[in-house]
Chains A and B, each alone.
Chain A
């Protein structure tokens, strides 16, 4: 079980992904933009994974990643982008900001869980960090 933070301005997205991830046994917390995502990390502590949208009112996803990477606890935490956008230019921007990967909406539950398998630190390693 991992602790996962979802950042998206669409409540539908949050609802959908939260349902899938919780059904898969993960603990999920949500935030509606980048600023609130950072607050969530500061208040609720370091997650095992962050999944964020790109375009959000307030702070966008890439800016949030840039800010989160400045926090010592968040330097190695995987952060995935999940957005309708699929352009290379934006991907490169996110990569430079410190994103771990890029998923184009919509993502199937099967694919999402497979991605999680890949990016989530093993249970032991997670405890160590």
Chain B
């Protein structure tokens, strides 16, 4: 619709596209992509401005604007205190003012008086004269500084994102190393446990063996005792029998004595009885001897059985038990060492996982930078829109002098009004100067954490 210099509707949004992409990239976590896009966006915006300035009627601003379009705008626009007469970047600036006559050719003459007026009433909304020459004159340095400020903002964004990205990468690295330490600790412990537990399995077998032995041994003792008791019980009727034998022997002996007495009284006729009596007496003696022998035999058997039992209980059994007890002691010691290793590992893993958890939390907290960057970029976008729309107004005024009345010169102070953080004000002040009345309200920042 507008011929010549004005090609605005498109450019107004051009920087916003890569910026939006950059924001998306942030959200997706593609830091380098986002940085690149943010850079592209800044570059676009500035080349856009350059184009706008270049196409501005008659102003020799093409050079001025073209210069601040290096391949990597945010870096190049480091918001260091820019000496007013613009050392390297803008030898054009003062010249622009000098060369003003050309843009405004005819209008300038009429504009002169109104320039004086506006200077008195500035800074403030100033209805310009019916031609924008004075407005242009006044606004050009402002616009140059506005671009510097916006670039400064983008530089801080780049710093923010670099810092955040480095923080995230650093913390991820630390998390990785902590996880590595956990893995190492677990490996070490599991090796120790493995080396012990092959022995440990054997010890478990030992314990089972001990149990079985104790069971077996208990049974064995019972068997031994009951067998001994059975033997002793079996000898009791034998003793009774030997008593009977002795009784028989005694009575037989008495019988033999009586027979001998009777034989003596019968004289010659009793001689045969006497022989029988002697034989019976001999039998009685033999019977007694047999009973004594049986008694001795029983005693010997009982004694032997008891001795045998005692032997069984003491010698080999004790040796075996001793060995088993030794095994038990070793097993217990191994279990103790296992517990020591496991508790040490537990401690180590606890410490490390606590550290990892802290790092993870800090990484999550680090995402906050996105909010800060978002606000800064929004402010930059806003500033660019303001610049573009101001140029649109100028363009319209050039074509239609009746529109010129509504144009006011570009005011840096307008940009400052929406700042929400100290770094924004700082960048602004570094370029615009605090005392110039163009800066933000003087920074009066409190501590990062304050309790009321």
Contact = CB atoms under 8 A, between A and B. Distances in A.
A20 B444 contact: no
Interface residues of A, number: 41
B362 A106 contact: no
Contacts of B358: 109-110
Contact of B365 (A87, A94, A109, A115): A109
Given A12-B368, A106-B368, A24 B361 contact: yes
B444 A101 contact: no
Interface centre among B369, B420, B441, by most chain A C-beta atoms within 10 angstroms, is: B420
Nearest to A19: B364
Interface in B403-423: 420-422
A129 B125 CA distance: 55
Interface residues of B, number: 31
B201 interface: no
Interface in B348-378: 357-358, 360-362, 364-372, 374-375
Contacts, number: 108
A2 interface: no
Given A10-B371, A12-B367, A13-B368, A23 B446 contact: no
Contact of A87 (B27, B371, B445, B451): B445
Given A86-B421, A86-B446, A105 B364 contact: no
Given A12-B367, A24-B361, A86-B422, 8 more contacts: A17-B368, A19-B364, A23-B357, A87-B441, A91-B450, A102-B452, A111-B449, A115-B449
29 contacts: A12-B27, A12-B368, A13-B368, A16-B365, A16-B368, A17-B368, A20-B361, A20-B364, A23-B357, A23-B361, A24-B361, A84-B371, A84-B372, A84-B375, A86-B421, A86-B422, A86-B446, A87-B444, A89-B441, A91-B450, A101-B449, A101-B450, A102-B449, A104-B448, A106-B366, A106-B372, A110-B362, A111-B448, A111-B449
